[in-house]
């Protein structure tokens, strides 16, 4: 039976690096405090780049690695909560930038689970026979909706975009998927309001008097350490595999403490989890595809390896996919 396989990866994040020492100058925090509680050392902050602009660059890299021409792409899905505009969709803007004239395009809003939801959607559409090659993109400019006076959130997030080409294949690709949502906890746990025009770091009370990211940190932590191992276990159950069959688990890059606790609950070594949040922070929908591109650049993804990707976040939402390379 034909399925869908990842053919190429790409990523792009801004050159502007904001480290913990810089944040210590604008909020009551320190490098030690942030590192100990999150594992994050620095993050990239947009100097004006939009999600579409960053996505186009990530897609160019992914298509080059997949040896894919723009006209071969017939589906583009962008996962983002910081779109360039309400309409047209960011996916349509990316289509125009890349010249993918044959693509159907739309966005998905599922925050930190967005890339997983998008990959699962693209996989199903390709398996249906309607499409053959998709660009699946996750990315954010979270600095546009950040309250830079809230030390509980501004130290966590960064900007960046990742992408992959997913194509019809006779080889094994996406082996199992799992998703879920709980809207009853959404507004109580993690919200983000309107996107403000500027991506600069706000430093005055007047500049932050708009809707920004708000999070019940303790509640989201409890949810995350529960859902990450639960999604992994569900995927193993659905696929008939065991944890030893999995080369890497690639979680949403939210917080190193979440990953450490998930590893403990799954009784597997922390080395099985790939993380790069120390130098990019939490990029929400961008975190998993950025991590996959990073792994590809390090030659960590070998043909035949099985990996699990897991997203969890605002909505509340969660989901994962078990993928053979």
* Beta carbons within 8 Å of 140's beta carbon, 6+ residues apart: 51, 80, 81, 82, 157, 159, 160, 161, 283, 284, 285, 286
Q: Find the CATH number of the domain harbouring 280.
A: 3.40.47.10
Q: Of 59, 68, 112, 164, which one is the catalytic site residue?
A: 112
Q: Output the average pLDDT for the chain.
A: 91
Q: pTM here?
A: 0.92
Verify cis geometry, omega within 30 degrees of 0, for the bond prior to 268. no
Return d(Cα 104, Cα 310) in angstroms, integer.
26
Q: Is 121 helix (H, G, I), strand (E, B) or coil?
A: helix
Mean pLDDT over 252-272 rounds to 95
282 catalytic? Reply is yes
Edge-to-edge strands, sheet with 248-251: 174-181, 317-324, 306-313, 248-251
Enclosing domain of residue 166: 1-325
Q: Of 20, 123, 147, 282, which one is the catalytic site residue?
A: 282
Q: What is the pLDDT of residue 11?
A: 98
Return d(Cα 135, Cα 221) in angstroms, integer.
31
User: pLDDT at residue 83 above 80?
Assistant: yes
Residues 142-189 have pLDDT tens digits of 999 888 988 889 999 999 999 999 999 989 899 999 999 988 766 655
- State the Rg of the chain over Cα: 18
Q: What is the pLDDT of residue 194?
A: 52
Q: What is the pLDDT of residue 209?
A: 38
User: pLDDT at residue 204 above 60?
Assistant: no
**Could you tell me if 76 and 105 are in contact, meaning their C-beta atoms sit under 8 angstroms apart?**
yes
Q: Which of 197, 188, 187, 202 is nearest to 150 (CA)?
A: 202
Q: How far is CA 250 from CA 46, 132, 155, 236, in A?
A: 25, 25, 22, 14
Handedness of CA 248, 251, 254, 255 (dihedral sign): negative
Mean pLDDT over 289-294 rounds to 98
Q: Which residues pair with 282 in a beta bridge?
A: 157
**Which tokens go with 251?**
């979680």
242 catalytic? Reply is no
Total domains in the chain come to 1
Q: Of 59, 154, 202, 252, which one is the catalytic site residue?
A: 252
In the chain, alpha helices (H): 20-23, 31-38, 51-66, 90-98, 114-127, 151-154, 186-189, 217-239, 256-266, 277-280, 287-297
Q: What is the pLDDT of residue 72?
A: 98
Q: How confident is the model at residue 118 (pLDDT cuts 50, 70, 90)?
A: very high
Q: What is the pLDDT of residue 113?
A: 96
Q: DSSP per residue over 217-244, as a string?
A: HHHHHHHHHHHHHHHHHHHHHHHT--GG
CA–centroid distance for 125 within its chain: 20
279 catalytic? Reply is no
């Amino acid at each position: 039976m034909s399925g869908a396989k990842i053919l190429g990866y790409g990523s792009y994040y801004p050159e502007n690096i904001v480290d913990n020492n810089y944040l210590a100058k604008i909020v009551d925090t320190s490098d030690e405090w942030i590192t100990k509680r999150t594992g994050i050392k620095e993050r990239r902050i947009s100097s004006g780049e939009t999600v579409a602009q960053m996505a186009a660059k990530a897609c160019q890299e992914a298509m080059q690695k997949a040896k894919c021409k723009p006209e071969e792409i017939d589906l583009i899905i962008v996962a983002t909560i910081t779109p360039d505009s309400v309409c047209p969709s960011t996916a349509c803007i990316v289509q125009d930038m890349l010249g993918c004239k044959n693509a159907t395009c739309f966005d998905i809003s599922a925050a930190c689970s967005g890339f997983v939801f998008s990959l699962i959607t693209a996989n199903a559409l390709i398996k249906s026979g309607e499409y053959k090659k998709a660009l699946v993109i996750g990315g954010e400019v979270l600095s546009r909706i950040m309250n830079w006076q809230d030390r509980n959130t501004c130290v966590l997030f960064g900007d960046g975009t990742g992408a992959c080409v997913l194509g019809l294949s006779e080889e094994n690709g996406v082996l199992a998927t799992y998703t879920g949502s709980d809207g009853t906890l959404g507004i109580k746990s993690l919200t983000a309001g309107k996107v403000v025009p500027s991506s600069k770091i706000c430093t005055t009370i007047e500049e932050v008097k708009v809707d920004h990211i708000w999070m019940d940190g303790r509640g989201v932590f409890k949810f995350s350490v529960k859902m990450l191992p639960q999604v992994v276990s569900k995927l193993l159950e659905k696929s008939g595999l065991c944890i030893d069959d999995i080369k890497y688990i690639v979680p949403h890059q939210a917080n190193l403490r979440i990953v450490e606790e998930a590893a403990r609950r799954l009784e597997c070594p922390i080395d099985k989890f790939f993380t790069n949040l120390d130098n990019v922070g939490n990029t929400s929908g961008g975190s998993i595809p950025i991590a996959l591109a990073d792994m590809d650049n390090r030659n960590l993804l070998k043909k035949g390896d099985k990996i699990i990707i897991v997203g969890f976040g605002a909505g509340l939402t969660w989901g994962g996919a078990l993928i053979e390379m």
